Amino acid sequence: MHLHLNNEELAIAIDGGLALRTPAGERPLDRGEVVSFACGEDGAHQIINRSEVSARFLIVSEMNVPDIVFRPESGSVVAFGRAPGSDRDSGYTETFMHKDAVDMWEVEAPPPRTPPQ
């Protein structure tokens, strides 16, 4: 399951035994069903194939950059971005574990100044 901070997504169930999993639970997706996922916690989702046959679905995303993707169950955070006009293969993409986060001022604060003697 994941959520985006800067991209809404839309899924269309095409074929197979698809299920939609959200923080509210899991339910089957009917062929042709369209579901949308807002930015943030309300849009957390996962699409799963619950059948023995191949399944197909289409995902449409805004593809806004920068974006932050949270995976609440694993605790991973993916940050990605690129300069305006650059291609998709350039830019920045890194994955971190949320548990390793530190306060910005812990690493960015200037060292204390020694008063003049």
In a domain, 83, yes or no: yes
Cα(109)–Cα(30) distance, integer angstroms: 53
pLDDT of 98 above 90 = yes
In a domain, 115, yes or no: no
The whole domain housing 38 covers: 3-108
Which CATH number fits the domain that encloses residue 60?
2.60.120.10
How many structural domains comprise the chain? 1
CA atoms within 13 A on the CB side of 59: 11
In a domain, 113, yes or no: no
Neighbours of 4 (CB within 10 A): 22
pLDDT tens digits, residue range 43-75? 999 999 999 999 999 999 998 889 999 999 999
In a domain, 116, yes or no: no
Point out which residues pair with 109 in neighbouring strands. none
Point out which residues pair with 80 in neighbouring strands. 67, 93
Give residue 88's pLDDT band: very low, low, confident or very high (50, 70, 90): low
pLDDT of 84 above 70 = no
Percent of the chain at pLDDT exceeding 90: 71
Read off the pLDDT of each residue in 39-44 and give the average, rounded to a whole number: 96
